[in-house]
């Protein structure tokens, strides 16, 4: 792929470094060099993100850095240590087993971000694995992180996607790839858990103070900063999962080591957007008990925050009872924060200006109708903007996604009455509002799979097409209408596992 040179941007070696996380040093992370990637080939470069970083992409040396074949000048790559609860079970040591932070830079707007390679080889935390990522999962993460960003959902992002013919053994032999991920911080819940459960409580404050100074600066130096910081983390997490639920996104591996301290969507593995709506949908076929099903995500998010709060107890008070009382009060903020965010977003999806008594029931009835008919989630909500308030005739153009049309017609009658109750009868204006929150295009599994299969055959064009498509998920794109279709029957049940 050719990279255009932008004269107003800087080469990588002129971008200002600001290694705040690296300055924490041992025991938070370990220096380790990437393993060179043989015959690297750039499949895609995120020019829009590069421009935000102030990064001129025209030199071949940068491609070598993003492949893991050359270090960023004056920065020693590091891998972080952490622990976590995986599928509910405690694992005492994990860590960046195939990820390396390769730079911390300042963007032109002054914000600090970290660049991290995923798939760059073994680290001290690889636990005997090869430290590589495969092309299949790398394409999925590259596409989905940018799709989520365009949907307005907090997320890590991806700058580049590099492939290699190097063989990698998973369920079958696949080929290697490296993505460069970008975020203000990659600190996870599991990093605090690691030091808490090892009784290294003195290590908690420096890590928390780093996170606060860089990402919650209004709290820096305040005597009650840890409690107020945790309140914000819990509420950010609740709001994030409300966004997941209302766009039909399933994470698939909601382990505490995959939860961002900033409330970002982190570690794209066996994720999936809902096609046929099922309340109990499980997108990860390695999740044998369905722990991380769609309808379980809000409660799992709350449970994960309880693990973080436990790990933060030593930060809050030397008195165990006082610390426990503070943690309890913070924990209790999650449920109302989630409920507020979720009901507001569901109301927006229905074009309701206000949230009133009875709206929760209206939303629940619609979801039940979609569930019983396994209706397409994204298309169903997008089509609701066609409902008119100046008629009581059946909602043609919407009912086609529905199985139980009698129940749906009864629901539509109540929905129209609800719209009229707040004098929300300007159908064109309401449709425009609804289409700004109900995407037409999401990264459906079959679309990602098509891009993967073509890339495996040496054709990268579908990756670029999807990047362009998903950068405008709410817009009508008439020349790409087929990408909004529900998957054909034979592709409805693509299975995604943890192997990557």
DSSP β-bridge partners for residue 183? 114
- What one-character DSSP code corresponds to residue 61? H
Residues assigned a catalytic role: 257
In this predicted structure, what is the pLDDT of residue 1? 45
Closest CA to 267 of 212, 197, 189, 173: 189
Cβ neighbors of 489 (< 8 A, separation 6 or more) are: none
The string of DSSP codes covering 92-150 is S----SSEEEEEEEE-TTS-EEEEEEES----TTSTTS---EEHHHHHHHHHHHHHHHH
DSSP β-bridge partners for residue 376? 276
Nearest-angstrom CA–CA distance, 170 and 174: 7
Residue ranges covered by each domain of the chain? 12-186, 191-342
Q: Is the peptide bond before 27 cis (omega within 30 degrees of 0)?
A: yes
**How many CB atoms lie under 10 A from the CB of residue 371?**
18
Q: What is the pLDDT along the chain (500 residues), one digit of tens a residue?
A: 444 444 467 888 889 999 999 999 999 999 999 999 999 999 999 999 999 999 987 767 888 999 999 999 999 999 999 999 999 999 999 999 999 999 999 999 999 999 999 999 999 999 999 999 999 999 999 999 999 999 999 999 999 999 999 999 998 999 999 999 999 999 999 999 999 999 999 999 999 999 999 999 999 999 999 999 999 999 999 999 999 999 999 999 999 999 999 999 999 999 999 999 999 999 998 999 999 999 999 999 999 999 999 999 999 999 999 999 999 999 999 999 999 999 999 999 999 999 999 999 999 999 999 999 999 999 999 999 999 998 888 887 888 888 899 999 999 999 999 999 998 779 999 999 999 999 999 999 999 999 999 999 999 999 999 999 999 999 999 999 999 999 987 777 666 766 55
Copy the structure tokens of residue 92: 């005492």
Nearest-angstrom CA–CA distance, 230 and 236: 10
In this predicted structure, what is the pLDDT of residue 498? 63
Nearest-angstrom CA–CA distance, 404 and 375: 10
The model's pTM: 0.96
Closest CA to 52 of 102, 95, 115: 115
Nearest-angstrom CA–CA distance, 168 and 277: 34
Closest CA to 67 of 44, 35, 37: 37
Residue appearing with tokens 């080469």: 11
Copy the structure tokens of residue 198: 């090892």
In this predicted structure, what is the pLDDT of residue 495? 63
* Contact (Cβ atoms closer than 8 angstroms) between residue 166 and residue 151: no
């Amino acid at each position: 792929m050719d990279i255009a040179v932008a004269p107003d941007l800087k080469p990588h070696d002129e971008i200002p470094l600001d290694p705040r996380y690296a300055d924490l040093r041992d025991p938070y992370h370990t220096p380790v060099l990437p393993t060179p990637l043989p015959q690297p080939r750039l499949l895609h470069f995120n020019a829009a993100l590069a421009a935000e970083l102030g990064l001129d992409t025209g030199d071949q040396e940068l491609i070598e850095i993003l492949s893991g074949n050359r270090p960023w000048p004056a920065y020693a790559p590091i891998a972080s240590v952490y622990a976590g609860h995986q599928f509910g079970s405690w694992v005492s040591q994990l860590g960046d087993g195939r990820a390396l932070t390769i730079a911390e830079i300042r963007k032109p707007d002054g914000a600090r971000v970290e660049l991290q390679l995923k798939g760059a080889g073994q680290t001290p935390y690889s636990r005997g694995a090869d430290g590589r990522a495969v092309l299949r999962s790398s394409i999925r993460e590259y596409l989905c992180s940018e799709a989520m960003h365009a949907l307005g959902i907090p997320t890590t992002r991806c700058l580049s996607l590099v492939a290699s013919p190097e063989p990698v053994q998973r369920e079958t032999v696949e080929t290697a790839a490296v993505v460069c991920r970008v975020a203000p911080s990659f600190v996870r819940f599991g990093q605090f858990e690691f030091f808490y459960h090892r009784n290294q409580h003195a290590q908690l404050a420096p890590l928390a103070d780093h996170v606060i100074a860089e990402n919650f600066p209004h709290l820096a130096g305040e005597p009650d900063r840890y409690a107020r910081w945790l309140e914000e983390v819990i509420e950010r997490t609740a709001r994030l999962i409300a966004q997941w639920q209302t766009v039909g996104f399933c994470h698939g591996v909601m382990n505490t080591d995959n939860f961002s301290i900033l409330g970002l969507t982190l570690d794209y593995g066996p994720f999936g957007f809902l096609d046929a709506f099922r309340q109990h949908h499980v997108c990860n076929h390695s999740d044998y008990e369905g722990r991380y099903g769609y309808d379980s995500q809000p409660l799992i998010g709350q449970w994960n925050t309880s693990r973080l709060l436990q790990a933060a107890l030593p930060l809050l008070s030397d008195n165990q009872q006082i610390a426990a009382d503070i943690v309890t009060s913070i924990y209790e903020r999650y449920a109302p924060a989630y409920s507020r965010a979720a009901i507001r977003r569901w109301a927006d999806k229905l074009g309701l200006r206000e949230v009133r008594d009875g709206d929760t029931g209206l939303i629940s009835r619609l979801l039940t109708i979609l569930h019983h008919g396994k209706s397409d989630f994204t298309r169903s909500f997008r089509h609701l903007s066609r409902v008119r308030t100046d008629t009581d005739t059946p909602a043609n153009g919407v009912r086609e996604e529905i199985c139980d049309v009698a129940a749906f017609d009864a629901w539509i009658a109540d929905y129209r009455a609800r719209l009229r109750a707040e004098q929300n009868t300007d159908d064109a204006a309401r449709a425009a509002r609804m289409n700004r929150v109900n995407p037409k295009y999401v990264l459906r599994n079959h679309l990602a799979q098509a891009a993967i299969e073509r890339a495996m055959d040496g054709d990268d064009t579908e990756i670029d097409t999807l990047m362009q498509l998903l950068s405008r998920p709410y817009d009508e794109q008439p020349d790409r209408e087929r990408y909004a279709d529900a998957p054909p029957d034979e592709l409805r049940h693509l299975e995604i596992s943890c192997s990557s």
